[in-house]
Chain A
Amino acid sequence: MTTEMEKREQSDLLAVVTARFALSVTIPDTFFNAEAKNIAEACWAMARRFHQGGRLLAFGNGAWATDAQHVAVEFVHPVIVGKRALPALALTNDSATMSGLMTGDDATNSFARQLRIVARPQDIALGYSPDGQCNNVRSALTTAREMGLLTLGLVGGDGGSIQQSQLDFCFVVPSCDPLAIQETHETLYHVLWELVHIYFENEGLLQ
């Protein structure tokens, strides 16, 4: 390969990197400017649930299973010294139970069935779906709503059927790029976690 070709390949690849970063700037900008008010309301609702002894139960498929774990660790072991530890679990961590529930012909209800056993009415259900069409996430959020949990959907695309599921909060990242949707979800759950704590400084607001 000539040096000229190498240079050209490098500049093509640099354009790919620059485009990826540009997407990761414009999508959160649009999303947070549209949703900041709902995010503040969601933090308040979550703080009240934690105040009642509720726990956060998070779930998602594939790459989003790692986001379920990530949001859980933020609450359980806050990186900011002085923040209280709050109970949060990722339903995807128990691979024995999860794979067990996915065998047979009721795989679609694997998360919903876990919720029916472990969830309490004061808990918070947080489900991810990049296109809003994940059936197992939708069925779990519907079950959670029936059981009285606070329900949050973190979705993308056009919100899909999850957006139609009458959740307490459904945040739709307006993009079809799964990577940018996921990064925006990461900022969103970090913000939910960071700002839930604000309400604990004002107990009167938690009644």
Chain B
Amino acid sequence: MNNNEGSEYDRLFYPFLFEGGKASLEDVLAQVQHSTLEKCREIIALRQATLEHADAGIQIVAAGQAMARAFAHGATLLAFGNGGSSTDAQDLVTELLNPPFAHWSPLPALALTNDIAVITAVGNDVGFDNVFSRQVIAFGHKGDIAVGISTSGNSKNLLVALEQAHKQGLLTIGLTGYDGGKMLQSGNIDICINAPSDHIPRIQEAQATVYHALLEVIHTALEKGIS
């Protein structure tokens, strides 16, 4: 890539870098500061849109209540995603096992991305599309909870794992971005909550708020007692 030309993305989003000659440090610092504030406005707008879009508030409550009911009956939660979303799945799991608030009871959960021996074994022997479904087969019981986190809504290994989980009688929850992709249309996902954006970092940040809100609903519902 020619440094003077930059990528198409940079030319689109950071035109000041390419407007005649070299930018001064002061100019670039000022523009980066400006971009920072723009990104802050983007995430604020996306969180508001996520909550208002398609009755997501009601959906989050319904998902949290169903998850609370499952936990009350002894469920274990299995969470999975790819790339940055794998760390969000692990985050959700550790917040269940080791809650951030003293009044939240620890709940059983497992991140399907933590065991690199299993991921590489299944990936190498069977294929990457099966790295999560294989573990759903091994760990999932009827009444457990499967949570798949994807920014595109189209990750094959999530679609396959959620289909498997649905077959085995797990409660299936999906978090997606963009237009929700195949996950939002899937009959195998009981509740799918979408963060309507096409910028992956912002989608992940909005999804963090969604699963943090889910945790809050789960614990509030459990504290009040589940019917």
Bound pair: A and B? yes
Residues of A within 8 A of B (CB): 1, 9-10, 12-14, 16-18, 20-21, 24-25, 28-29, 32-33, 36-37, 39-41, 43-44, 62-63, 65-67, 69-70, 73-74, 77, 79-83, 178-179, 182-183, 186-187, 190-191, 193-195, 197-205
| 8 smallest beta-carbon distances between A and B, as pairs | A82-B7, A32-B40, A190-B201, A40-B32, A70-B87, A178-B100, A66-B91, A66-B87
| 4 extra A-B contacts, CB within 8 A, seeds A82-B8, A179-B212, A203-B3 | A17-B61, A37-B29, A179-B95, A193-B201
Other-chain residue from B7, B22, B87 in contact with A83 (beta carbon distance below 8 A): B7
Number of interface residues of B (CB under 8 A): 64
CA distance A1 to B65 in the complex (A): 14
Interface membership of B138, Cβ < 8 A: no
Other-chain residue from A9, A14, A37, A79 in contact with B57 (beta carbon distance below 8 A): A14
Please give me the residue from chain B that is nearest to A205 by CB atom. Answer: B25
Chain B residues with CB below 8 A from A182, complex form: 91, 208
B1-45 toward A: CB 8 Å interface, digit per residue (1/0)?
A: 101001111100010010000110100111111111101100110
Chain B residues with CB below 8 A from A16, complex form: 213, 216-217, 220
Q: How far is the CB of B152 from chain A (nearest CB, A)?
A: 10
List which B52-91 residues lie within 8 A (CB) of chain A.
57-58, 60-61, 64-65, 83-84, 86-88, 90-91
Question: Could you give 13 example pairs across A and B, Cβ below 8 Å?
Answer: A1-B227, A13-B220, A17-B61, A18-B51, A67-B91, A74-B201, A82-B7, A178-B101, A182-B91, A183-B205, A195-B35, A198-B35, A204-B22
CA distance A16 to B224 in the complex (A): 13
Known: A9-B224, A66-B87, A186-B204. A25 touches B44 (CB 8 A): yes
Interface membership of B168, Cβ < 8 A: no
Interface membership of B166, Cβ < 8 A: no
Q: How far is the CB of B88 from chain A (nearest CB, A)?
A: 7
Interface membership of B48, Cβ < 8 A: yes
Contact A10 B208 (CB under 8 A): no
Chain B residues with CB below 8 A from A62, complex form: 94, 98
Interface membership of B209, Cβ < 8 A: yes
Other-chain residue from A14, A25, A66 in contact with B61 (beta carbon distance below 8 A): A14
Contact A73 B58 (CB under 8 A): no
Q: How far is the CB of B105 from chain A (nearest CB, A)?
A: 17
Please give me the residue from chain B that is nearest to A199 by CB atom. Answer: B28
Please give me the residue from chain B that is nearest to A186 by CB atom. Answer: B205
Chain A residues with CB below 8 A from B160, complex form: none
Q: How far is the CB of A107 from chain B (nearest CB, A)?
A: 17
Chain B residues with CB below 8 A from A17, complex form: 51, 57, 60-61, 64, 213, 216-217
Other-chain residue from B37, B83, B94 in contact with A77 (beta carbon distance below 8 A): B83
Q: How far is the CB of B207 from chain A (nearest CB, A)?
A: 10
Other-chain residue from B14, B58, B91 in contact with A14 (beta carbon distance below 8 A): B58
Contact A40 B220 (CB under 8 A): no
Contact B47 A73 (CB under 8 A): no
CA distance A62 to B51 in the complex (A): 27
Chain B residues with CB below 8 A from A205, complex form: 25, 28
Chain A residues with CB below 8 A from B33, complex form: 36-37, 39-40
CA distance A73 to B88 in the complex (A): 12
Please give me the residue from chain A that is nearest to B97 by CB atom. Answer: A62
Known: A28-B44, A32-B37, A186-B204. A202 touches B17 (CB 8 A): yes
Chain A residues with CB below 8 A from B6, complex form: 201
Contact B208 A73 (CB under 8 A): no
Q: How far is the CB of B87 from chain A (nearest CB, A)?
A: 4
Interface membership of B118, Cβ < 8 A: no
Q: How far is the CB of B5 from chain A (nearest CB, A)?
A: 9
Interface membership of B221, Cβ < 8 A: yes
Contact B9 A82 (CB under 8 A): yes
Known: A37-B33, A82-B1. A29 touches B44 (CB 8 A): yes
Chain A residues with CB below 8 A from B205, complex form: 183, 186-187, 190
Chain B residues with CB below 8 A from A82, complex form: 1, 7-10
